Structure 1
């Protein structure tokens, strides 16, 4: 029987908790620097959340792969394709939800495409976080199943190098790693359509785009390697030492590659994969040492553990629930132009409870995010007590 490492569950749960923290500030205009993404090149603690989660997906895959292999190729393909499709569909559902929107004072159906306030065409975004998780899980599973460990390693190296070459030679020669020079933008526009892409950068650009999915697949593969190695070596200091060395080597290699291929989350560069994987291994090593070797378990580990037991569900809920609550709004005040300004429960809570706690607006924004973590923790804690685990 496989030995379960509790530290892996805590690592995954802590990643989910941090994901909720950075995705739910009281105000996007008032963030402490570590809780904001890098503007373009570079890496903040917030930029570690998504690759850490993909790394954790690979860890989990290493524990279930033996059962999938034992079931046979047909059963494996059915399981992997079904799960990937469902996760992708849930992510797409989240993007479209709650299917209605306020248009002046009327609720109208959120159409596939519709005219925005300034006349631009707005559409439902096709890709997103869950969709990337689905695609990475699918392709990483197929690569590992059919190519085995050695073949998966070679494939990972080829993907990282090939992506570098694609960026360098297909991008704008003046600056191939810039927003305007990145080769993946025209591909996304041609396949997805501008109205169905992310516009958070002020233009049509998708940080979970088609091209950058190539390297994010490697994040899952590396997570699988680490999970597989931990199981093979067992709980001993040799295993821990090797993980620490591997983590340091990857961080150093990522930094070195950064000099010619900048660390960048938004286009998920190869240097970013190595750097964040290295950091994930180091953090996981610390968790293993603390929990498995020192047995320093307690309230702190249980706090994160319950997030990990319903990881995808609570991530979905943290994105879905605020959108539904926002439909129930009321007039907060009338501005100088005589126009009604509406609010709903969560913005009201931030404005009237969290924001006034400090003259520094970043403190109020952080307090709101912490309250959201507490709120969602109560949900997963209750689910854990009732042994309710929603799996896909």
Structure 2
């Protein structure tokens, strides 16, 4: 498998594949958490019926949070973990920082190119290309955090940079006047959906792209949840993952400086501190996934830390995955986590394919009939659409996306971006 469980939290596709290895320093809990995260990401993105979705399986409308809102930041958090573990492993093998910097830039560009290809395929309607997006944000956060971590791997420095990013973003969103609307809390509500600095900036950027490149669109027409300005705190999410990896590394290797038990306790307590801090900051700067607010960064990172602590205790300490039951319970997440980008790309391909195949007729809710809607309404919702039928479709969709990863796992092939 990948070095130090870095497989796809640093989600990039390499030009070649490698066989799986299992070094003693591997942190299997990170693989498991990554696998759970990518599977849940596919699940919430591919409900059978968008009008019938359990509350926790869709994003919060604006302020507040659901379980779904924790998926993307957890993935970015794991990207940060992998940056540290991968960089440490490569430096130990003799790589120099200049080569690693070039490698980081190349990977970030590759992720971005893959993102654009996914958005363009199969119709290649360049005028409607969405430049922002999940993979685009991962590329930018990976690039910035990766270069920062090549410059320094001191926990205090990384925490200081993170604090500066979060405070700066709060100051921008709270005090900088939004052109044409006024000052937040005085002339307009704080974090008004369309009348906030991030949305205003994204509309301006896309307007520029439309005028000059004749392309670009925002996911929600007037704003985008993966916009440019909110990438500032998203980098903070990634750096918090990097700091967590530094703590994990202290419990590993040939000469650990802390015990695994202390490592677990530290992760758990840090997680509780993050959750509490996020809720406290929420009073003045609401938790909001679509704007990736600073309070949201702390809260989501806290949840990720608690999840990591649980996985670390179960797998790397108690060796739950080596028991008969534990092996079967953790195996699917290891398979998903080993080639997470393959699963994500496969989900996008399958989703687009079944949406583009048009059949004659309409669905029970009056929409044009596509292959995907035919499958849903004839197999899952033949007696009516409910939250249960919608989530059943999503679960089967996840299983379909699992198949390529399982084949790669069987063949011991690791695809790295």
Residue equivalent to 1:40: 62
Given that 2:194 and 2:222 are in contact with CA atoms closer than 8 Å, whether structure 1 keeps it comes out as: no
Q: Tell me if the contact between 2:198 and 2:229 (Cα under 8 Å) persists in the aligned partners.
A: yes
1:189 match: 203
Report the counterpart of residue 167 of structure 2 in structure 1.
161
- Alignment match, 1:120: none
Secondary structure at the counterpart of residue 332 of structure 1: strand
Secondary structure of the 1:356 match is coil
SS, match of residue 266 in structure 1: coil
> For the aligned residues, what is the CA RMSD?
2.0
Given that 1:144 and 1:151 are in contact with CA atoms closer than 8 Å, whether structure 2 keeps it comes out as: no
Moved more, 229-238 or 124-133: 229-238
Matched residues in 1 for 2:343 and 2:235: separation?
A: 23
1:353 counterpart residue number: 379
TM-score (norm. length: structure 1): 0.89
Aligned equivalents of 1:75, 1:91: Cα separation in 2: 24
Distance 1:72 1:302 in 2: 35
Q: 2:398 — aligned with what?
A: 373
Task: Provide the rounded CA distance (Å) in 1 between the counterparts of 2:261 and 2:356.
Answer: 54
1:221 to 2:239 alignment: yes
Asked if residue 294 in structure 1 is aligned to residue 312 in structure 2, the reply is no
Name the counterpart of 1:317. 346
Deviations 1:130-156 (A, max 9, x none): 000000000001112113323222111
1:92/1:127 contact within 8 Å kept: no
Cα deviation for residue 2 of structure 1 reads 6.3
Aligned to 1:251: 275
Secondary structure, aligned partner of 1:343: strand
Corresponding residue number in structure 2 for 1:198: 218
CA gap of 1:341–1:130, structure 2 versus 1, over 3 A, is closer
Alignment-derived partner of residue 330 in structure 1: 359
Aligned residues: 366
Q: Specify every segment of 5 or more residues in structure 2 that has no aligned partner in the other structure, as ranges.
A: 1-22, 253-258, 322-326
Q: 2:311, 2:319 → 1: CA distance? A: 10
Unaligned runs of 5+ in 1: 101-109, 114-122
Does structure 2 conserve the Cα–Cα contact (< 8 Å) formed by 1:197 and 1:205?
no
TM-score by length of 2: 0.83
1:3-61: CA deviation from partner (whole Å, max 9, x where unpaired): 11111100000000000100000011110000010010001000000000001111111
- What is the rounded CA distance, in whole Å, between the counterparts of 1:139 and 1:192 in structure 2? 22
1:246–1:334 CA distance, 2 compared to 1 (3 A):
closer
CA distance in 1, matches of 2:81, 2:48: 32
Task: Quote how far apart the aligned CAs of 1:305 are.
Answer: 0.8
Deviations 1:176-228 (A, max 9, x none): 3121231012211222237723343xx32111000000000111111111112
